[in-house]
Amino acid sequence: MRPLRNRHDVLQGSPPEAGHGVRALLTARAAADTGEPQHTAPAPAQVLLAVPLLRVVGPPGRRRVVVGQARVTAREHADDDAEETSEDGVDPQVTLVLNAVWHEARGWHADHDVAPEVDDELVAALARPAHRIGGDARSVAVDMGKALAEGSRNAVAQLRALRYDLERRIADELAARSDQPLRPLLAAVLELATAMGQARDQASAALRDGLWIWLWDDTVYDHNGQHSDTRVDADTLPDWASTHRLGLRHCEAMARELEEEVSRLHALLGSMSTFAVAQSTDAQNRFTLLVGVGAAVIGLPALILALYGADAYLPLDSFDRAWRALLPVGATALAAAAAAIRWMPGTARPHHYAVAAVAVAAVLVMLLVAGALTPG
């Protein structure tokens, strides 16, 4: 599929703020379909920055977590398309290289075969944070790169909110306040941990590579590099060098915060696994108890009737015969059911005893009807 290429206003804020943002050409590609080396040198008269892309878009219930890389390029004096350049004569472009998209609809799941397109929800997410963009091509690219990296870092808070929501739903399940199965919650925790892990890897790679600035400015890369000992006189650095350094700090904070989130999700996954084992054990114990209760309900009345005989009360064609024959059965069944409810794992509630009493009464009615219809 041919990537869509449309111009949109980005980084203007939501709602738009005067004097903020820039109109840029947006292009989206699937990471597996780029056909490019890991580091692509910019074309002549172009500058290039690559920053991590993390956005949470869509309304609750249909949210998507978009993970990938945003490549910002800018060139000056685009005479062939002068009407699309900025006020400073700079033509900015943003290429979204999408690694995967996680969808909330029908349970969190990953779509690695992403469509190379920019939809309205993703465009709206690129409007934040509001940022002033201006200057030559290098200043525009660095300003946009720093702002996009800041937006990706801000999206970590939205992922944290998703984790809080999962923790709340798990608490509801533990407290029996909901009947949601445990398996989908386990899958959601694992999917979000994977999404956060991939986003963390993007942030770490961007920090290590200096946002790819080494492709066209070794001096700033050496000065702002994560492990570089090279320091240059600040007076000789361009004005946008400090903005580039801020972009690196956003990547560093993003990687650190995502590492914490991944650790918490993995700890949550371990706790849920322990709970699942305990829940399975409770279910087995409950089944064993129910089997024992069933045996008691059937066996004890049969033993009583076998010891003392029931021929004198059959057929059950009168009230006197019926209550004398069915009293041992009903009393034993009620006692066994009450004991089962009392000892069964979980909290015994009044409606549990009511349901047991109704079930015993139904059995007695069935026996009474069968006895009355049996030929004498």
Instruction: Give the number of domains in the chain.
Output: 2
Average pLDDT over residues 267-294: 73
Position 372 confidence tier, pLDDT thresholds 50, 70, 90: low
Which DSSP string do the residues of 34-61 spell out, in sequence order? ----SSPPPPTTEEEEEEEEEEEES-TT
Domain membership of residue 255 (yes or no) is: yes
Span 180-230, pLDDT tens digits: 777 888 889 999 999 999 999 999 999 999 999 998 888 888 888 765 555
Do 259 and 338 belong together in one domain?
A: no
Percent of the chain with pLDDT over 70: 76
Domain membership of residue 286 (yes or no) is: no
Do 275 and 356 belong together in one domain?
A: no
Domain membership of residue 262 (yes or no) is: yes
Span 52-89, pLDDT tens digits: 999 999 999 999 999 999 999 999 865 555 455 655 68
Domain membership of residue 116 (yes or no) is: yes
Instruction: Determine which helix (DSSP H) or strand (DSSP E) holds 8, and give its type and residue range.
Output: strand 5-10
Domain membership of residue 154 (yes or no) is: yes
Task: Give the per-residue pLDDT at 312.
Answer: 62
Do 261 and 340 belong together in one domain?
A: no
Phi and psi at 155, nearest 5°, equal: -70, -20
Cβ atoms of 356 and 341 within 8 Å: the answer is: yes
Domain membership of residue 291 (yes or no) is: no
Do 92 and 45 belong together in one domain?
A: yes
Span 105-155, pLDDT tens digits: 888 998 877 776 778 899 999 999 999 998 999 999 999 999 999 999 999
Does the pLDDT value for residue 4 go beyond 60? no
Domain membership of residue 298 (yes or no) is: no
CA distance 213 to 218: 7
Task: Give the per-residue pLDDT at 152.
Answer: 97
Cβ atoms of 124 and 55 within 8 Å: the answer is: no
Per-position b or e across 196-211, b if 16+ CB within 10 A of its CB: bbbbbebbbbbbebbb
Do 74 and 211 belong together in one domain?
A: yes
Do 58 and 175 belong together in one domain?
A: yes
CA distance 333 to 327: 10
pTM of the model: 0.75
Do 337 and 229 belong together in one domain?
A: no
Q: For residue 193, give its domain range.
A: 5-279
Domain membership of residue 303 (yes or no) is: no
Do 107 and 21 belong together in one domain?
A: yes
Please name the amino acid found at residue 338. Answer: A
Do 216 and 328 belong together in one domain?
A: no
Do 271 and 313 belong together in one domain?
A: no
Do 239 and 191 belong together in one domain?
A: yes
Tokens (6 digits) for 233? 């006189």
The residue with greater pLDDT, 93 or 293, is: 93
Do 70 and 193 belong together in one domain?
A: yes
Numbers of helices and strands, H then E, in the chain: 7, 6
